[in-house]
Amino acid sequence: MNLQDHLIKTRAFALKSWLITRKRPFHLFEILFWPLLGLISVGLLARFLDLEARLVQFVLVGVVALNIVQVSQIDMAYVVLYSIWNRSLKHEMAAPVNVLQLVVGSWATGILHAFVVFVFLNVFSAMAFRVHLLQAGFFPLGVLFVGLVLFGCAVGTAVCAMAFHLGGRAHVGATFLVSILTVLSGIYYPIDVLPQPVQLLSLLIPLTYFLEYIRGCYGFPVTCSNPLLWGFLLTLGYNLLSFFLLSLSIRAARQKGTLLELSE
Amino acid sequence: MNAISLRGIHKTYPAHHGKTAVHALKGVDLEVESGVIYCVLGPNGAGKTTLIAILTTLLYPDGGGGTIFGLDLLRERGRIREIVNVTSGTPNFTDVFTVRENLNYYGMLYGLPKVPRNERIGSLIETFELKPYEHVLFSRLSSGLRQRLALAKAMLNDPKVLFLDEPTVGLDPKISETVRRTLKKISREKGLTLILTTHQMREAEFLSDRIAFLREGRIVAEGNPDDLKRGIRYGEKIRIRYDGPILFLEELSGLEGILETEGDDRLVTVTVDDHAKRLDPIIRRLNSDPRRVIRNIDIVTPDLEDVFLELAGSSH
């Protein structure tokens, strides 16, 4: 297979995701409205609790980070979920495409959407709550963004793996994964407020380290010696694991006949 | 080179969600020559869709193996996907995409670069008369148009083998006829090997060069439609009406190829294995008495429906 062939097939998945966003207002709603709503409600809660500005920054950067992971994974999941809902999965899987093309293509649109949301939430938090996330500097925010979308890729790939196993119900799996992240990775609070055994679970989540890093840039104490290194290492590990799971899941779907069932 | 060669294909769907395990294919052997239209006939649940799914690599077999144009079914699945394509009777594509967007998307999945892809899409839109619907969403297409889109999609990668699973199911008779003619035309013009499943005898008879009957996961008969019709015990019936002295049925005994004889007044019905070979000796035997005059001869050949009923019924 030559590079051009590989790129065309990868772009096919990106195009699909892009067209779905363009044509389904509900999808656009999901990637813009919910993140905005989340930011507004938390921002207003912070105002009601009369939190000092740096604590508001602490919380809002968590909300933004969680949304970036959510938005970048949702495009990936939808590429597979739409095929299941449209019962067209078998036609796509009968084509000579591979898992890498599916993952990278759908993730590419996820990155684009995530970037738009990232900029939008940054601007909105500055205007509505006078919280300037950019205060950390372009480079740290850029690194944070890269880390978050890479982690989003791992989450999205895992959801796709679930979709080949569970069908449309994998949508619930996506919500479950993001809910777990919300509780465990210190979105609204430092992880040391969690019970000790649960903190160990938090340390297994890359998002915990990315938040630690960016909050360090805002002057909050950093408890881990090299949060970026840990964050990226774990992200790499989860990406490899979820990629393996997706390959396994597609293979199992072809073995058990689930692929046909999902297309009926 | 054979287009398809299968040996001992087995497939069992494991038990799940309260359903029991189903042994869908029980050692299927198949040889399909390149360029033919090959039909897999069988009742519901015979294993037709499973067989097609295995050949298109959508489903992995539990046992056996084979090749498609020399590519190993178990080890070269990626390359097989490049040279085959598939469509089914109830095609589904992305509902929010238009006809052209769907074709463009699938063209990209098959790795076609932009310029040849657009040319190909344009030509397929012409071939399948989809031009007026080019920018219509899939969700708004009628079942006939969806089927035409499915066929256009199936031709995108210029496949060597095209699999059609019940291609005309749910279509009205006029559209079904158009689809059949289009398939036959494409197959002949491009030398495409076409494998279709159906339970419509007329469709199989019209389209197929060869037919395999699948029953309970096994191929129980295989051949060209004429051979299959001759092969069943129904045979072909020769009905002769005559004037003159009664022909005693015993007079026909001893003639080769006679399966059954019936007489009623001056109408004799003889069931033979092959009317082309047996008609002449029967007429000569009738004419052995010069007072007899033949008034009318009818030849009734069995259709595939008879073959189907015979083969489907022989298990019960």
Chain A residues within 8 A of B115 when measuring between CB atoms: none
Share of chain A above pLDDT 90, in %: 72
Residue of A23, A91, A101, A249 to mutate, testing the B interface (most B Cβ within 10 Å of its Cβ) = A91
**Chain A residue nearest residue B14, CA to CA:** A256
A263 to B92: CB separation less than 8 angstroms, yes or no:
yes
- pLDDT at position A208, please? 95
- pLDDT at position B179, please? 79
B95 to A86: CB separation less than 8 angstroms, yes or no:
yes
- Chain A residues with CB within 8 Å of chain B CB: 1, 4-5, 8-9, 11-12, 15-16, 19-20, 23-24, 82-83, 86-88, 90-98, 251, 254-257, 259-260, 263
β-strand B193-198 against B210-215: which pairing, if any?
Answer: unpaired
A259 to B59: CB separation less than 8 angstroms, yes or no:
yes
- State the Cα torsion B217-B221-B226-B227 to the nearest 10°: 170
Chain B residues within 8 A of A88 when measuring between CB atoms: 92-94
CB atoms within 10 A of CB B143: 15
Indicate the pLDDT class of residue A54, thresholds 50, 70 and 90.
confident
Check residues B227 and A92 and name the one with the higher pLDDT. A92
CA distance A35 to A68: 9
CA distance A226 to A153: 22
Indicate the pLDDT class of residue B303, thresholds 50, 70 and 90.
low
Chain B residues within 8 A of A15 when measuring between CB atoms: 104-105, 108
**Chain B residue nearest residue A93, CA to CA:** B58
Mean pLDDT value of segment A14-34? 87
**pLDDT tens readout for residues A36-52:** 999 999 999 999 999 98
What does the domain layout of chain A look like in residue ranges?
A: 3-261
SS3 state of residue B119? helix
**pLDDT tens readout for residues B10-55:** 999 988 777 788 899 999 999 999 999 999 988 888 899 999 999 9
A105 neighbors A12 (Cβ within 8 angstroms): yes
- B241: Cα separation from own chain's centroid: 36
Mean pLDDT value of segment B206-215? 89
Which tokens is B82 given?
């490049």
A61 neighbors A218 (Cβ within 8 angstroms): yes
Mean pLDDT value of segment A3-15? 95
Check residues B175 and A210 and name the one with the higher pLDDT. A210
Mean pLDDT value of segment A220-246? 94
Supply the angle between the helices A3-23 and A53-85 in degrees, to the nearest 10.
100
Q: Exposure of A199 by Cβ count < 10 A (0-12 exposed, 13-18 middle, 19+ buried)?
A: middle
| Beta partners for residue A212, in sequence order | none
A91 to B93: CB separation less than 8 angstroms, yes or no:
yes
| Beta partners for residue B162, in sequence order | B85, B194
CB atoms within 10 A of CB A193: 10
Cβ neighbors of B304 (< 8 A, separation 6 or more) are: B41, B201, B202, B204, B205, B211, B225, B228, B229
- pLDDT at position A1, please? 63
Q: List the single range of B4-8, B47-51, B143-147 with lowest mean pLDDT.
A: B143-147
Mean residue pLDDT across chain B:
87
**pLDDT tens readout for residues B70-79:** 999 999 999 9
Indicate the pLDDT class of residue A159, thresholds 50, 70 and 90.
very high
B56 to A94: CB separation less than 8 angstroms, yes or no:
yes
pTM above 0.95, yes or no: no
Does the pLDDT value for residue B234 go beyond 50? yes
CA distance A238 to A241: 5
* DSSP code of residue B19: B
**pLDDT tens readout for residues A254-264:** 999 999 988 87
CB atoms within 10 A of CB A179: 10
Chain B residues within 8 A of A11 when measuring between CB atoms: 108
Backbone angles phi, psi at A49, to 5 degrees: -80, -5
Which one, of B69, B46, B68, lies nearest residue B217 by Cα?
Answer: B46
- Chain B residues with CB within 8 Å of chain A CB: 13-14, 16, 49-50, 53, 56-60, 78-79, 81-82, 84-86, 88, 91-97, 101, 104-106, 108-113, 153
Cβ neighbors of B149 (< 8 A, separation 6 or more) are: B91, B93, B99, B102, B103, B128, B130, B138, B141
β-strand B193-198 against B161-165: which pairing, if any?
Answer: parallel
ipTM: 0.91
- pLDDT at position B233, please? 57
CA distance A143 to A214: 9
CA distance A80 to A86: 10
Mean pLDDT value of segment A175-201? 89
Does the pLDDT value for residue B305 go beyond 70? no
SS3 state of residue B35? coil
Which CA distances in Å does B231 have to B28, B216, B307, B313? 21, 20, 8, 15
CA distance B49 to B55: 10
B62 neighbors B12 (Cβ within 8 angstroms): yes
Mean pLDDT value of segment B153-162? 94
Does the pLDDT value for residue A156 go beyond 80? yes
**pLDDT tens readout for residues B79-132:** 999 999 999 878 899 999 999 999 999 999 999 999 999 999 999 999 888 999
- pLDDT at position B160, please? 94
CA of A105 vs chain B CAs: smallest distance (Å): 11
- Which residue type does A27 have? H
CB atoms within 10 A of CB B175: 17
Backbone angles phi, psi at B124, to 5 degrees: -70, -35
- pLDDT at position B134, please? 95
Does the pLDDT value for residue A150 go beyond 70? yes
Instruction: Using the CB atoms, write b or e for A6-30: b if 16+ within 10 Å.
Output: bbbbbbbbbbbbbbbbebeeebeeb
Share of chain B above pLDDT 70, in %: 93
Which uninterrupted H or E stretch holds B230?
Answer: helix B225-231
A121 neighbors A40 (Cβ within 8 angstroms): no
Indicate the pLDDT class of residue B316, thresholds 50, 70 and 90.
very low
